[in-house]
């Protein structure tokens, strides 16, 4: 199997803010993790070009795109208390979105392998008309929307420690995209309850499993097996995209889940099994702010997809959250049943 590392920003753009955790060194850590695997001919690099305007407009409003480009061209600044933009950020963001498009194009041409989109800024918090949570353009959403526009059925699995509110909102009522998220709760951005199940044309098309602080890898796997798997089986995806944040690692400073890098290897094997055939799996870098953990986690994830033995940390077990997963399953089942019987309630808004 070939691993494609698709990069949008190889130090070419200055999307950086002193002291901010979403920084260029994250990509260096990812690349160091790739190097650790010594993949040789199993590894190929693809350098992407900027996403085209039509692809961006499938996800974001034209006015937001215009305003963001203008904001950056005027030097940038703070878009909210968390999210910065520089003069180069527009170029970096559209190149990161382009990396996702290049990943799916290349996989489709080859019909084999997996792609890892090693690009930043990350994307899953960005909504149609607003940046937030370090995210400017929703990279995974741009790729998923491109696939859905061609009639594909796209599963997005988001294992970042934060809920991907932007991705959820963008595909809220789209029956061609199934969004599955496991995330710490309560935590930024404050969305991602099990009751949020999708819009009237996509009831059940959003699957949220909140987890308590301290949850370990076995609990995340339980969440996917017990809550998401029925929806995934029914959906029958033709493509699988992963919002691969690595900030659920126990060393990450942004949150308090307790996964090891070994858990990401296990999760990678689980989601790879959802892809209908080779060449239909792409992972997108989202969060992950402890550089050592990020390096190990990326290496373990890619190693697992290649079937190799690389696993510097054992998977974790025994943390809290089993009851929360069971509760999420019960709430989701009840919400879907209620929504099928009546009009969607306020509780089920994105």
Q: Would you please indicate which residues are annotated as catalytic (active-site) residues? A: 125
* Residue 332 near other proteins by CB under 8 A: no
CA-CA-CA-CA torsion sign (197, 203, 204, 205): negative
For the bound state, the minimum distance from the C-beta of residue 185 to other proteins, rounded and expressed in Å, comes to: 9
Q: What is the rounded distance in angstroms from the CA atom of residue 281 to the CA atom of residue 6?
A: 13
Q: What is the rounded distance in angstroms from the CA atom of residue 241 to the CA atom of residue 180?
A: 10
What are 277's two structure tokens?
Answer: 């055939």
* Residue 146 near other proteins by CB under 8 A: no
* Residue 81 near other proteins by CB under 8 A: yes
Determine the size of the site formed for other proteins (CB under 8 A): 31
* Residue 71 near other proteins by CB under 8 A: yes
Kindly tell me which residue out of 3, 79, 209, 267 binds other proteins, with binding defined by CB under 8 A.
79
Which residues from 94-133 bind other proteins, rule CB under 8 A?
A: 129-133
Question: Could you tell me the end-to-end alpha-carbon distance of the chain, in angstroms, rounded to an integer?
Answer: 38
Helical H segments across the chain, by residue range: 25-36, 53-57, 62-73, 89-110, 139-149, 165-170, 217-223, 229-235, 261-272, 291-305, 322-341
In DSSP terms, which residues pair with 282 in a beta bridge? 115, 241
DSSP character string of 76-91: EEESSSS-EEETTHHH
| Strand ranges across the sheet with 3-7 | 43-47, 3-7, 114-117, 281-285, 239-244, 154-158, 177-184, 206-211
Site string for other proteins, 172-211 (x = CB under 8 A): --------------xxxxxx--------------------
* Residue 255 near other proteins by CB under 8 A: yes
What distances in angstroms separate CA 323 from CA 14, 80, 87, 308, one per listed residue? Answer: 45, 35, 47, 33
Q: Which of 231, 232, 227, 210 is nearest to 161 (CA)?
A: 210
Helical H segments across 111-216, by residue range: 139-149, 165-170
Which residues from 30-69 bind other proteins, rule CB under 8 A?
A: 64, 67-68
For the bound state, the minimum distance from the C-beta of residue 130 to other proteins, rounded and expressed in Å, comes to: 6
For the bound state, the minimum distance from the C-beta of residue 311 to other proteins, rounded and expressed in Å, comes to: 28
Give residues in contact with other proteins (CB under 8 A): 20-21, 64, 67-68, 70-71, 77-82, 129-134, 162, 165, 186-191, 253-255, 346
């Amino acid at each position: 199997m070939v691993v494609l590392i698709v990069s949008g920003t190889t130090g070419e753009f200055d999307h950086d803010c002193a002291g901010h955790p979403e920084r260029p060194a994250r990509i260096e850590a990812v690349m160091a993790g790739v190097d650790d695997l010594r993949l040789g001919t199993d590894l190929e690099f693809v350098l992407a070009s900027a996403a085209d305007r039509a692809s961006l407009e499938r996800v974001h409003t034209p006015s937001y795109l215009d305003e963001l480009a203008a904001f950056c061209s005027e030097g940038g600044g703070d878009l909210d208390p968390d999210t910065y933009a520089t003069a180069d950020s527009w170029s970096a963001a559209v190149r990161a979105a382009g990396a996702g498009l290049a990943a799916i194009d290349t996989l489709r041409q080859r019909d084999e392998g997996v792609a890892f989109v090693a690009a930043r800024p990350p994307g899953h918090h960005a909504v149609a008309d607003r940046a937030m949570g370090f995210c400017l353009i929703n990279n995974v959403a741009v790729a998923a929307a491109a696939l859905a526009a061609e009639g594909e059925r796209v599963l997005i699995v988001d294992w970042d420690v934060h809920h991907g509110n932007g991705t959820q909102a963008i595909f809220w009522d789209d029956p061609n995209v199934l969004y599955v998220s496991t995330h710490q709760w309560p935590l930024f951005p404050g969305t991602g309850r099990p009751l949020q199940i999708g819009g009237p044309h996509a009831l059940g098309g959003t699957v949220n499993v909140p987890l308590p602080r301290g949850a370990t890898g076995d609990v995340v796997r339980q969440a996917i097996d017990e809550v998401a798997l029925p929806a995934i089986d029914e959906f029958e995806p033709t493509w699988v995209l992963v919002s691969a944040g690595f900030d659920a690692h126990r060393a990450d400073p942004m949150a308090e889940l307790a996964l090891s890098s070994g858990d990401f290897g296990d999760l990678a094997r689980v989601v790879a099994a959802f892809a209908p055939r080779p060449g239909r799996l792409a992972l997108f870098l989202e969060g992950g702010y402890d550089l050592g953990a990020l390096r190990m986690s990326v290496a373990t994830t890619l190693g697992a997809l290649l079937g190799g033995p690389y696993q510097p940390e054992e998977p974790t077990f025994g943390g809290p959250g089993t009851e929360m997963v069971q509760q999420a399953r019960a709430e989701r089942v009840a919400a879907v049943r209620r929504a099928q019987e009546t009009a969607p309630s306020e509780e089920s808004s994105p």
